[in-house]
Structures are given as structure tokens and as C-alpha cells.
Amino acid sequence: MDIYQKLKECTTFDWDEFNIHKNWDTHQVTWWECEEVFIGEPLLLSHDMKHSKTEPRYFALGITHEGRTLFVSFTVRGKKIRPISARDMSRKERKIYAESKI
């Protein structure tokens, strides 16, 4: 099953006391901005082979309701999306994302 199909089956996000605040503390990204990325269009997804040691990891390039472009690293556990890290896209990532809209 590909990651796009896996996400369609997800019903919620997996936040705990640590990871809900981690992205704000490190990159000033709120938990709700992370969630918005997964409902915005377009959403670009890729398997993160380098960080998939103990479980499959992925990354998403997407946009928030306010137009902030974010990179979100995540995994899927059952029917939950578990964000691992979120930050603003790099210049290269913004270019890739912009080209996907064409």
C-alpha cells in the first residue's frame, strides 16, 4: 500500500505531551499547522529511507491555511499520523513544491 492510501485511512493524529510542543520549541511550528499540511493541496509525500530504521518514515511538503510552506517528517501508526518533526521548507523544497502546482 502506498503512503497516499495509508493517509486516506488515517482518522487522527498521534500527539503526546512531548511531541505536541517539540516543533514549536525548535522551529516555531504549531501542532495545528502540522495537521493543516495534511489537508492542504498539493501535498507531496515521499518515503524517508534514511530515517526508516525501526519503522517506516515519510516526509510531506505542504501548505497551511495561512500559506506557510512546511516540511513535516512523520510515520503512520495504525490509523494515526505521528508527526516527528516540522519546519519551514528550505529554498530547494519550496522550488520543488512550487513546480508541483504547475
pLDDT digits (tens, 9 = 90+) for 22-72: 999 999 999 999 999 999 889 999 988 776 778 899 999 999 999 999 999
- What is the spatial distance between Cα 59 and Cα 19, in angstroms, rounded to a whole number? 16
Q: Pairing relation of β-strands 69-77 and 58-63? A: antiparallel
Burial class (CB in 10 A: 0-12, 13-18, 19+), 61: buried
Set of cell numbers at residue 12: 487522527
Cα dihedral angle (6, 52, 73, 28), rounded to 10 degrees?
150
Rounded to two decimals, what is the model's pTM?
0.91
- Residues of the chain with pLDDT > 70: what percent? 97
**Is the preceding peptide bond at 42 cis, omega within 30 degrees of 0?**
yes
